[in-house]
Amino acid sequence: MTGVGRARGARPWLGRDLAIDLGTANTLIHQQGRGVVLDEPSVVALSVETGELVAAGTRAKEMLGRTPGALRAVRPLRAGVINEPDATEQMLRWFTDRVGISSVFRPRVVVCIPSDITGVERRAVEEAALRVGARRVYLVEEPMVAAIGAGLPVTDTEASMVVDIGGGSTDVAVIALGGIVASRSTRTAGDAVDDAIAEHVRRNLSLLLGERSAEHIKVEVGSAFPLAREVTTRVRGRDLVTGLPKTVDVGSAEIRRAISRPVGEIVVLVRDVLDRCPPELAGDVLERGITLTGGGALLRGLDARLRHELGVPVRVAEAPLRAVVRGAGRCVDDFAALQPVLVDGHRF
């Protein structure tokens, strides 16, 4: 496990309720009374012949683009929703085994979902959680719990605005009096930025990149706004002309142009939610500003880009990658106080 002690054998914790941020890029689990006990990439390695799980999390991510013919490494969630149900179930079972879930002391489980999820996609999430041992499944919308995890006063009469940018989806919401007043969601997020980088390098540098290499470029030199000091990084891939390995240098200015379309779509989405917001609440946002959460919030200059484009104060939440699971964790630590934020509809 990443960043936490190993939980196997910790029998006193069996049956404690869980909050799961089942993300396209990473899965995080909060256990009641313990905090975040698991933080792993949402990747599995499966046997091609039997479909059985060979590895999950960090070890499986290291296999992306490197597996022999007998194995395939995949990300079972795409665009914020389950893409491969069987692989997702196996991954969840592997993760929950790490934190000590029991078939006898079955916990209640809170799962975070994008705000635009369909009924079919919602049922797929519920069923996956039930099959790995949940007693009951509750769903919470990611922007609401992201706001809670970022410390925003979601029950105030004055509005707060959160932009949660994950790997597969971006959720924007204006929240007041414990409810979402205006919101929109798009499947343009971190993965779309990686895809734009890979496509740019392929078309302009004749270099074929793997998924991990595109993500490396984003982390090292990606930016949404001009930097005081532009930076470069070296990346390796396969030359599309010769078919041989090749190394090139790419700079932040070039990558900024490459990702201009997905970044621009996120800016437009935020502006659209502000336009839909009632005038009184828009005034609150102008005063309080916008809070960025999720892994996409770490893209250099994104806060400056939004501030420049919208004329609204923008800040990045503390530990933005964990804002969603921290907010969902408060649901399992105090169900009664946070019952209103749970998604309405059928519950098991």
296 is in an annotated binding site: yes
* Whether residue 311 is found in the same domain as residue 200: no
Q: Domain tally for the chain?
A: 3
166 is in an annotated binding site: no
* Residue whose C-alpha is closest to residue 259's, from 162, 186, 191, 187: 191
Contacts of 132 (CB under 8 A, 6+ apart): 89, 92, 93, 96, 101
295 is in an annotated binding site: yes
* Whether residue 163 is found in the same domain as residue 218: no
169 is in an annotated binding site: yes
Q: Are strands 207-208 and 77-78 parallel, antiparallel or unpaired?
A: unpaired
Contacts of 101 (CB under 8 A, 6+ apart): 14, 18, 107, 132, 133
Residue length of the chain? 348
Contacts of 203 (CB under 8 A, 6+ apart): none
Residue 71 lies in a domain: yes
Residue 229 lies in a domain: yes
26 is in an annotated binding site: yes
| Token pair 């290499």 in the structure block, residue | 213
* Whether residue 161 is found in the same domain as residue 277: yes
215 is in an annotated binding site: yes
Please report, in tens digits, the pLDDT of each residue of the chain (348 residues total).
Answer: 344 434 444 444 555 899 999 999 999 999 998 999 999 999 999 999 999 999 999 999 999 888 888 999 999 998 778 889 999 999 999 999 888 776 677 889 999 988 888 889 899 999 999 998 898 999 999 999 999 999 999 989 999 999 999 999 999 999 999 889 999 999 999 999 999 999 999 999 999 998 889 999 999 999 999 999 999 999 999 999 999 999 999 999 999 999 999 999 999 999 999 999 999 999 999 999 999 999 999 999 999 999 999 999 999 999 999 999 999 999 888 877 667 777 654 333
Residue 137 lies in a domain: yes
CATH number, residue 281: 3.30.420.40
Q: What single-letter amino acid sits at 6? A: R
216 is in an annotated binding site: yes
Cα 37 to Cα 2, 33, 34, 85, 231: the distances in Å are: 9, 10, 7, 24, 35
24 is in an annotated binding site: yes
* Residue whose C-alpha is closest to residue 198's, from 240, 164, 226: 240
Can you give the residue range of the structural domain that contains 109?
11-144+323-341
Neighbours of 14 (CB within 10 A): 15
Give the neighbor-by-neighbor strand order of the sheet with 44-47.
53-56, 44-47, 71-74
Residue 4 lies in a domain: no
CATH number, residue 236: 3.90.640.10
pTM: predicted TM-score of the whole model, two decimal places: 0.89
* Whether residue 316 is found in the same domain as residue 328: no
* Residue whose C-alpha is closest to residue 93's, from 63, 59, 52: 52
* Whether residue 135 is found in the same domain as residue 267: no
